[in-house]
Structure 1
Amino acid sequence: MSSPRGISRRNVLKGLGTAIALPWLESVAPRAALAAAPTPPTRLAFFFVPNGVNQETWTPKREGFRYDLTPALEPLARLQDHVSVLTGLTHDKGRSNGDGAGDHARAASVFLTGTQPVKDSGRVMVGRSIDQVAAEHLGGSTRFASLELGCDRGRDSGQCDSGYSCAYSSNISWRSPSTPMAKEVDPKLVFDRLFGSSDKQENRYARARRDYFRKSVLDFVRDDTARLEKRLGQTDRRKLDEYFTSLREIERRLEHKGTIESDDAGGFPRPHGVPREFADHAHLLSDLLAVAFQTDSTRVATCMLASAGSNRSYPTVGVPEGHHELSHHQSDPHKLDKLYRIDRFHVELFTYFLDRLATIPEGEGTLLDHSLIVYGSGISDGNRHNNENLPVLLAGKGGGTVTPGRHLRYARETPMCNLFVSLMDRMGVSLDRFGDSTGSLAYL
């Protein structure tokens, strides 16, 4: 058992093509770390949804604590004290500002950059995203500087929205102004990345063996696990057992939900492909991200529930029509009702992730207590394609640096980038400004 470079607070179990990072275990922590009573790190994640929301069923009327849970926000009921609703925030650079049509592409590209994208068929140029600013400062402490996830594969070439590159519609994370961070949509590949070794050839062979013989990654670290368990106290044994149980459950669902295709690694077949049901897909990605945070494999992540302008239908909630099509509602009550159903369903998916974090103990609280999770869209109302008064949720306590559970209403045209500056401060990253920010965001 050893710890890779940069992972000082965690232990790693190793086997053939396998590296399983573990949650914090006091029984095997260095004495110096125990004496210092280490404070759990703060994690940062951003969830993006397209096409805006139905504002009538989204925005609470009451401000402050115990805000009224509107129909779209009702799934947050059991976690209301952990989630704040922020209204009044604006992304001015999502507006045309002389560039004409292309609101959806701009909405995604500006979401974490605060920068107007260049509308040019020959090049891609937008600002660096705030998650990658955080990853640059914090990534050296974890195995992965950041994770980029999504439910739509998307494209990074060609035009997708009125002359804008598809890269703008498909990505919210940008390593540089011209380089998006490609998101992973296949939960199986995310799992392999989190629990595979750094040796690609060994990792590929071991992965094929696991799938062919229906083995768990835990079977490949059995010897290390047996040695570790002898050193653990009762509390840590229970914690380890719960963690391993969650991994086995994820593996079971990956095998059950995936489609079987052949792989060229020794002719072994392996489960591959995303789940057929959208909710299953989003839940698996959420579970994997929760594990990545739990094991301190990364502290920064993004997740696009759908690409900008997505016309996905939602038959499971009674919406066979496309989302983008419905967002041009023209105040039609039937379309608005179906938009509300989509908004509520998206919030249910987000709540699932928050629930996962809230059930994982860490330090004196939970993983959710030591996180900052932003959910929102770069468009407010899909019919108007406007970029002011964006729908934004902020969950978690940021290690005690944020007071959640409130509806905070900010002055019209308050830059969304002010929120990013404030979040970076709580992540230990000092920024004078970011994008079109005018300062930090008060009252968090």
Structure 2
Amino acid sequence: MLDRRRMLQAVATGAGAALGLPLAAQPLFASPDANSTPKRIIFFMQNQGFDPATCVPPGMKNSRSLAGVKLPDPISPLEPYKERLHIINGLHGKHATPAHSAFFGALGGYRGGDGVPPSAATIDYELSKVLPQTLLPHLCIGMDSIENMTAKPTLATLSASGAGQPIFMYSNPNQLYQMLYGGISTGDIRRQHEARSNAFDQIEKLAAAKGQSLPSADEQRYRQFVDGFKDINGLRDRLDSVSDHLRQFAPKVDDRYSQPEFETDWHDALLELGISALTSGITNTLTIGSGRGEIFGAWKGLGIDQQGHNLGHMKQPDNPIWVKIRQYNCRMLAKIIDSLDSIPEGSGTMMDHTLIVYTSNNADTQHTSGANWPVMLLGNFDQSFKTGCFTQLDGKRPINSLYASLMTAAGVSCDRYNMSEQLAQKYDSANGPLKEVLA
């Protein structure tokens, strides 16, 4: 039974501190210096594995250009964006023990597992700290079956701000819309937003007062919950202060929110909210968990009756079910690219300063050793990454080396990411970023 104390703990942790919200107010758009650009990054994690045969063009064994090469059917929606695509095969994550899922270990580059707390910050959170600061530095959204998204509208399995500090992802578009755009809404959404805001204000005040009478050991733990409510309330106030700007970007609320026919209606609404958070400048780091980092997931809206764990036991190459799922993913990627490309920024567009990282929290397949962890990059992050090519690695460098490359491209020198020298001696054949991917 969920008692009052546990309920408040879940709310504060799931919606405040666990989101990695800043403790101090940040401007909507940070003003980069003359030598920097407002870079942004998106991680798209599909569960159940990413078989290389579904993304590597047939017969392609060695690194080469993608010019004149037809992409495999599962990723065919990316054909118009081939010049911006970089397919990487041959990274590994054996040390992350992906099996059913590496959970936090997929983006952390360390050992993960079901019920295993994060042992360090994940790459998406670390990048959100070094990229130009925004109102909400890091936003996570998760897609699953309607039943799972309704029963658990927030869930933490992929991202973390530190050891034992998971970051929750939003799975109910109604809640996410209310958080981002409740202050500029009307009708029921506005009334719910105001009621929730008043409740959180009162809870913060009450919690702060009551916490002073606790023993010192409990007071510190309790303070984390109080800070969670402070962060929620602070974010709400900051969003309200730029309401005129946000009106230009808020998606239209339609029947997909309140009366979804399929879970894909919510998936599409969540994606639109994530894109709007990027284009409006609310955030510059977006993590999307299709399947939410677990072994479940459903796509009935694509005409797929099978769902959950069984999908992971199906061979992906030439499987019409997985072709539909992967193509759906790629259409989502294309929508992100088109949306960012439509907004001028500097001498180009927002997409010119953006990188999309697409992979799986399961490496290549369900029940994997992690010996091969395919990745697709889209965009060049302000000319930081090579594009229009395929790179075949020898399987001796870990996913950590890619994450070190991301940090380097973001302006932070990084020889190893979340990997000790001792661990690197066993799992990494070199040191530093991947020279094969950096421009």
TM-score, length of structure 2 as denominator length = 0.68
Indicate conservation of the 8 Å contact 2:51/2:316, yes or no.
no
Indicate conservation of the 8 Å contact 1:53/1:340, yes or no.
no
1:377-418 deviation per Cα after TM superposition (whole angstroms, max 9, x unaligned):
132443552312223111112112223221111121321111
Match of 1:415 in 2: 398
Match of 1:108 among 99, 103, 108: 103
Indicate conservation of the 8 Å contact 1:135/1:146, yes or no.
yes
Give ranges in structure 2 of 5+ residues lacking alignment: 1-23, 149-153, 196-238, 420-427
Residues 1:193 and 1:315: Cα distance change in structure 2 (over 3 Å): closer
The structural deviation recorded for 1:206 is 7.8
Match of 1:302 in 2: 287
Q: Distance in 2 between matches of 1:138 and 1:8?
A: 13
Indicate conservation of the 8 Å contact 2:83/2:387, yes or no.
yes
The count of aligned residue pairs is 347
In the TM superposition, 1:368-379 aligns within 5 A as: 368-379=351-362
Counterpart of 1:126, as a letter, is S
Counterpart of 1:147, as a letter, is L
The structural deviation recorded for 1:180 is 0.9
1:75-126 deviation per Cα after TM superposition (whole angstroms, max 9, x unaligned):
1011111221111111122337xxxxxx223x2221110111377x7x7343
Match of 1:434 in 2: 417
Q: Does structure 1 residue 321 correspond to structure 2 residue 306?
A: yes
Q: Distance in 2 between matches of 1:145 and 1:332?
A: 35
More helix by share: 2
Q: Does structure 1 residue 386 correspond to structure 2 residue 388?
A: no
1:115-158 deviation per Cα after TM superposition (whole angstroms, max 9, x unaligned):
11377x7x73433211122223347x211121111113999xxx
Q: Distance in 2 between matches of 1:110 and 1:138?
A: 22
Residues 1:144 and 1:125: Cα distance change in structure 2 (over 3 Å): closer
Residues 1:440 and 1:414: Cα distance change in structure 2 (over 3 Å): same
1:314-335 deviation per Cα after TM superposition (whole angstroms, max 9, x unaligned):
3444431225313323x6988x
Match of 2:162 in 1: 176
Q: Distance in 1 between matches of 2:158 and 2:359?
A: 12
- Judge which range, 302-311 or 406-415, deviates more: 302-311
Match of 2:86 in 1: 84
- Judge which range, 343-352 or 75-84, deviates more: 343-352
Q: Distance in 2 between matches of 1:343 and 1:320?
A: 16
Residues 1:175 and 1:245: Cα distance change in structure 2 (over 3 Å): closer
The structural deviation recorded for 1:342 is 2.2
In the TM superposition, 1:214-225 aligns within 5 A as: none
In the TM superposition, 1:157-236 aligns within 5 A as: 170-196=156-182, 205=191, 207=193
Match of 2:126 among 118, 128, 133: 133
Indicate conservation of the 8 Å contact 1:40/1:362, yes or no.
no
Match of 1:341 in 2: 324
Match of 2:38 in 1: 41
Match of 1:278 in 2: 263
**Structure 1 segments (4+ residues) deviating >4 Å:** 36-39, 203-206, 243-246, 331-334
The structural deviation recorded for 1:434 is 0.8
Counterpart of 1:320, as a letter, is D
Give ranges in structure 1 of 5+ residues lacking alignment: 11-32, 97-102, 156-166, 210-219, 226-239, 261-274
Match of 2:9 in 1: none
Counterpart of 2:66, as a letter, is F
Counterpart of 1:104, as a letter, is H
Residues 1:58 and 1:354: Cα distance change in structure 2 (over 3 Å): same
Q: Distance in 1 between matches of 2:249 and 2:110?
A: 40
Q: Distance in 2 between matches of 1:297 and 1:49?
A: 24
Q: Distance in 2 between matches of 1:79 and 1:113?
A: 28
The structural deviation recorded for 1:9 is 4.2
RMSD: 3.7
Match of 1:58 in 2: 55
Residues 1:344 and 1:323: Cα distance change in structure 2 (over 3 Å): farther
Match of 1:145 in 2: 137
The structural deviation recorded for 1:176 is 1.7
Indicate conservation of the 8 Å contact 1:93/1:110, yes or no.
no
Match of 2:112 among 100, 117, 134: 117
Residues 1:224 and 1:340: Cα distance change in structure 2 (over 3 Å): closer
TM-score, length of structure 1 as denominator length = 0.68
Q: Distance in 1 between matches of 2:317 and 2:436?
A: 36
The structural deviation recorded for 1:358 is 2.1
1:259-310 deviation per Cα after TM superposition (whole angstroms, max 9, x unaligned):
28xxxxxxxxxxxxxx443333233222222222223222222110113343
The 3-state SS of whatever aligns with 2:268 is: helix
How much identity, in percent, do the aligned residues show? 22
Counterpart of 2:311, as a letter, is L
